[in-house]
A and B are shown apart, each in its own frame.
Chain A
Amino acid sequence: MRLVRVRVDGFRLLRDVEIEFSLDKAKNVTVIRAANESGKTTMLSALQWGLFGEEALPRDYAVTPMDLDSGAMSETTVEIEYEVEGKRGPARYRLIRHVSERVDSGSRGRSTAHLYELLSTGANELTNVNAYLAAHMPAELREVFFTDGDRALSFIEGSRTEQQKRVKLAIEQMMGLPMLDDAVDHIKKVEKEIRSRLDGIAGSQQLSDLRAEIEALDVSIPELEAKLTDAQEQIVNLTELHGKADRELQEALKRGNREEIAADLIRVRKAKERAESNRRALEARQAVLLSNKTFAATMLSSKLKVAGELLEKLRKKGQIPNKTIPILEDRLQHTDCICGESLDEHTPDGARRRGAILALIEESRGADALKSKVSDLYYEGKELFEPQRTKWIDEYTEAFGERDSLDRVLADLGEQEADLEARLAKVKDDDVQRAREMRDTYAQRLREQIELATRHDIAIKQRKQTRTDKVRQFDALSAKHEKGQRLAAELTVAADVKLVIERARDVMKTREVQAVSNRMNQRFLRMIGADEAESALIRRAEITPEFRITVYGRNDRQLDPSQDLNGASRRALTIAFVLALTEVSGVEAPNVIDTPLGMMSGYVKREVLRIAAEDSAQLILFLTHSEIEGCEDILDEKAGKVVTLTNPAHYPNILKNDPGVRDARVLLCECDHRKECSVCARKDGSEMSRMAKERLQA
């Protein structure tokens, strides 16, 4: 299906606005250029309302024009012309949806839709509107083909189970899987009906019992399958929660055990105290250096040397040491002198010598007091005026060095103390305990669900096997009768047909989903490949068999799209998904996207635009001026049609000229991405920000 033209009248800001879409296969892009608050989202809503009616709008969304008085009647019309490829070439249709409403009446009127087939002979009204629309543009596909940049992100953001559901639904709808499910259901009903006929013919209790058992299984097996699906969803959910809880536990463990940290802190504080007291001791030791003997001897050395020399002279003169008295006294005890002469007092010479010695002793005693002092001084002073054993500077260097080392130790201990104090503050007593409990709870529940899922799985397999056996028995029994044979043949056919459709459905689910996954990955990598930083981190994207869109980084590490991808990549991923799904499903419909390129840098933007244009049968984009910036050449090449929507209320802040329109409506002009006219001309950025500043200051 391709959109040809749309006309919107009386739909909020849109009054008599008509847009033609490009049907050129080479230039398949239509651009509707509009700043924010210029009707982009309104136009998107109008298109969806036109095709799908009220269900396509949010609940409280009013379609009436904004400036009508309360109580006034409003007429809202959306006219869509589209074409559908048929066996004999394209067929064109015109859909007109209309509603009359009283403004602020509280209730929304039900719209009416008229559909016309446009033939060369004229317009032919079709009566079964919904039937045709369902065929041309099924409502289930609306969310895939009408993409609002933000809403599309719910394919990869939000709760995992929600994401899964949305992706699954989109894929199933696009593949037409529900229809296959219906077919299988109907065949089962047919089987049931055939068996009951067999029952009547054969008239055997055994046959009828078997039939009852088979039917019971046909009810219980789908029930169990539904329970299994539920359990599997729970498993996905709980796995995620368990993972998170486990990570929190690891974090809590890293932060540490409160007791351990407190013990360490005490230890460090004690060491610090010891070091402090050591420091005082070392300071005292160094202080002593200014009062000790080495210091004095060094500082006074000049004078001490002088005194020392004097004393030395005296010593050389023999006046030090003067220790003669004891020797002389000692001699008097003997009868002879050292020299050999007699000291005998009874001889005149001996007495004379004794007298001389006594006189010497007397004389010595007189001078002795002084000499004794001097002698003591000499011996004691030697320690001072002779060179010191240790130099003061060496003593000082050693003492200072020791203090320095200790200071460093103290600084280190101080840091340790501060660090431990900080860690202690961060750790709450029950962190680890609580986190462990959480994790274990989830682990338990997860185990339970896994057990449950396994039980269901086994039960399903058993019942399927039982059913196969029963069916075989049933067929065998019924084959005994002629009519039974015919009905048995019908049952065989039904079983074959059912199997074919079931298998086809499974293949669609797995193989086709795989194809969508591959395609999505290719597209996505190309889009972000232009951003080297992102593409370095991301290796591939895929859709898992559980219908989850996942992204993988280096080393096959699974990334969380809502946290590990930037805004641009997230949008690119959803666009890649939609394009891949469209292509693989083979459904032909327009891709209508509202601001897809927001948040994207020049290169990624260009890639996304280029790829979307390539893959889409008909691409209709609502773009702001800044989204277009940097992509003008691509649009030159690919855009078959470009129009601009302008909101007059943006004068004078954004628009250059006064559009001269006072009512609340959006203006359309044919300006493309390289032109501007008196209606859509905008002030340049610097002027706009200057005016914004003035407004702020006012």
Chain B
Amino acid sequence: MAHKDEKIIGIIIEQIAKVDERCPGYREEVTNIVAEILQAERQNQFARFNVVQKVGDLVSRVGQYYNARQEGGK
């Protein structure tokens, strides 16, 4: 790949560290989907597909994870 993802990933990880750990494992999940979102964006550049849907799915996945742990806490 022409672009070096490491650079962006590095900075992303820096920024994720500032996100609240809303529940155990939250940050790790966010890290994963951010990486996947970027990969989807990359792919979308030369093979167009419904990337919004993909992003939505990823967000939904972590949303459920979070919600479950949140409820559990209540």
Direct contact of A and B (CB under 8 A): yes
Q: Which residues of A contact B (CB under 8 A)?
A: 1, 84, 128, 130-132, 134-138, 141, 175-176, 179-180, 182-183, 186-187, 189-190, 193-194, 485-487, 489-494, 496-497, 499-501, 503-504, 507-508, 511-512, 585-589
Smallest CB gap from B50: residue in A: A186
Contact A186 B55 (CB under 8 A): yes
Smallest CB gap from A511: residue in B: B11
Given A485-B67, A492-B63, do A586 and B4 touch, yes or no (CB 8 Å)?
A: yes
Output the residue of B34, B38, B59 with the most chain A CB within 10 A: B59
Q: Give the docked Cα–Cα distance between A190 and B63 (Å).
A: 12
In the assembled complex, how far is the CB of residue A586 from the closest CB belonging to chain B, in whole angstroms?
3
Q: Could you say which residues of chain A place their CB within 8 Å of the CB of B66? A: 489, 492-493
Beyond the given A486-B67, A504-B12, A508-B11, please list 17 additional residue pairs across the A-B interface where CB-CB is below 8 A.
A135-B46, A138-B3, A141-B2, A176-B3, A179-B41, A179-B42, A179-B45, A182-B44, A190-B59, A489-B67, A491-B63, A497-B33, A500-B12, A500-B30, A503-B18, A504-B15, A586-B4
In the assembled complex, how far is the CB of residue A267 from the closest CB belonging to chain B, in whole angstroms?
73
Contact A130 B12 (CB under 8 A): no
Contact B15 A497 (CB under 8 A): no
Contact A183 B38 (CB under 8 A): yes
Q: Give the docked Cα–Cα distance between A189 and B38 (Å).
A: 16
Smallest CB gap from B45: residue in A: A134
Contact A193 B64 (CB under 8 A): no
Contact B11 A507 (CB under 8 A): yes
Given A183-B38, A187-B59, A493-B30, do A128 and B4 touch, yes or no (CB 8 Å)?
A: no
Q: Could you say which residues of chain B place their CB within 8 Å of the CB of A499? A: 15, 19
Output the residue of A128, A136, A586 with the most chain B CB within 10 A: A586
In the assembled complex, how far is the CB of residue B55 from the closest CB belonging to chain A, in whole angstroms?
5
Q: Which residues of B, 22-74, contact A by the 8 Å Cβ criterion?
A: 22, 30, 33-34, 37-38, 41-42, 44-47, 51-52, 55-56, 59-60, 62-64, 66-67, 70-71
In the assembled complex, how far is the CB of residue A214 from the closest CB belonging to chain B, in whole angstroms?
17
The one of A137, A490, A585, A587 that contacts B60, using a Cβ cutoff of 8 Å: A490
Q: Could you say which residues of chain A place their CB within 8 Å of the CB of B51? A: 186
Q: Which residues of B contact A (CB under 8 A)?
A: 1-4, 6-8, 11-12, 14-16, 18-20, 22, 30, 33-34, 37-38, 41-42, 44-47, 51-52, 55-56, 59-60, 62-64, 66-67, 70-71
Q: Could you say which residues of chain B place their CB within 8 Å of the CB of A511? A: 11
Q: Could you say which residues of chain B place their CB within 8 Å of the CB of A501? A: 12, 34, 37
Output the residue of B18, B20, B34, B46 with the most chain A CB within 10 A: B46
Smallest CB gap from B51: residue in A: A186
Contact A504 B8 (CB under 8 A): yes
Q: Give the docked Cα–Cα distance between A588 and B4 (Å).
A: 8
Contact B63 A496 (CB under 8 A): no
In the assembled complex, how far is the CB of residue B54 from the closest CB belonging to chain A, in whole angstroms?
9
Contact A190 B52 (CB under 8 A): yes
Contact B16 A500 (CB under 8 A): yes
In the assembled complex, how far is the CB of residue A484 from the closest CB belonging to chain B, in whole angstroms?
11
Smallest CB gap from B11: residue in A: A504
Q: Could you say which residues of chain A place their CB within 8 Å of the CB of B6? A: 586
Contact A189 B52 (CB under 8 A): yes
Q: Could you say which residues of chain B place their CB within 8 Å of the CB of A587? A: 2-4
Output the residue of A131, A182, A492 with the most chain B CB within 10 A: A492
How many pairs, one residue from A and one from B, have CB atoms within 8 Å of each other in the complex? 130
Q: Give the docked Cα–Cα distance between A491 and B52 (Å).
A: 15
In the assembled complex, how far is the CB of residue A621 from the closest CB belonging to chain B, in whole angstroms?
21
Contact A186 B45 (CB under 8 A): no
In the assembled complex, how far is the CB of residue A321 from the closest CB belonging to chain B, in whole angstroms?
129
Q: Give the docked Cα–Cα distance between A130 and B33 (Å).
A: 27
Q: Could you say which residues of chain A place their CB within 8 Å of the CB of B2? A: 1, 135-138, 141, 587-589
Output the residue of B7, B11, B42 with the most chain A CB within 10 A: B11
Contact A490 B59 (CB under 8 A): yes
A sample of 26 inter-chain contacts (CB < 8 A) reads: A1-B2, A84-B1, A128-B46, A131-B47, A134-B45, A135-B45, A135-B46, A138-B2, A179-B42, A187-B59, A489-B63, A489-B66, A490-B63, A490-B67, A493-B59, A493-B63, A493-B66, A496-B19, A496-B20, A497-B34, A497-B59, A501-B37, A503-B15, A507-B11, A508-B8, A508-B11
Contact A500 B15 (CB under 8 A): yes
Q: Could you say which residues of chain B place their CB within 8 Å of the CB of A512? A: 7
Q: Give the docked Cα–Cα distance between A128 and B33 (Å).
A: 27
Q: Could you say which residues of chain A place their CB within 8 Å of the CB of B11? A: 504, 507-508, 511
In the assembled complex, how far is the CB of residue A664 from the closest CB belonging to chain B, in whole angstroms?
36
Q: Give the docked Cα–Cα distance between A426 and B8 (Å).
A: 61
Smallest CB gap from B27: residue in A: A496
Q: Give the docked Cα–Cα distance between A501 and B40 (Å).
A: 14
The one of A84, A179, A588 that contacts B38, using a Cβ cutoff of 8 Å: A179
The one of B8, B18, B46 that contacts A134, using a Cβ cutoff of 8 Å: B46
Q: Give the docked Cα–Cα distance between A134 and B43 (Å).
A: 10
Q: Could you say which residues of chain A place their CB within 8 Å of the CB of B3? A: 138, 176, 585-587
The one of B14, B41, B64 that contacts A489, using a Cβ cutoff of 8 Å: B64
Contact A130 B8 (CB under 8 A): no
In the assembled complex, how far is the CB of residue B52 from the closest CB belonging to chain A, in whole angstroms?
5
Q: Give the docked Cα–Cα distance between A669 and B41 (Å).
A: 46
Q: Give the docked Cα–Cα distance between A66 and B22 (Å).
A: 69
In the assembled complex, how far is the CB of residue B34 from the closest CB belonging to chain A, in whole angstroms?
6
Q: Could you say which residues of chain B place their CB within 8 Å of the CB of A128? A: 46-47
Q: Give the docked Cα–Cα distance between A407 and B65 (Å).
A: 105
In the assembled complex, how far is the CB of residue B9 from the closest CB belonging to chain A, in whole angstroms?
9
The one of A485, A503, A504, A589 that contacts B71, using a Cβ cutoff of 8 Å: A485
Q: Could you say which residues of chain B place their CB within 8 Å of the CB of A194? A: 56, 59
In the assembled complex, how far is the CB of residue B31 from the closest CB belonging to chain A, in whole angstroms?
9
In the complex, the 4 A-B pairs of residues with the closest C-beta atoms, listed nearest first: A490-B63, A586-B4, A131-B46, A489-B67
Output the residue of A130, A490, A496 with the most chain B CB within 10 A: A496
Contact B22 A492 (CB under 8 A): yes
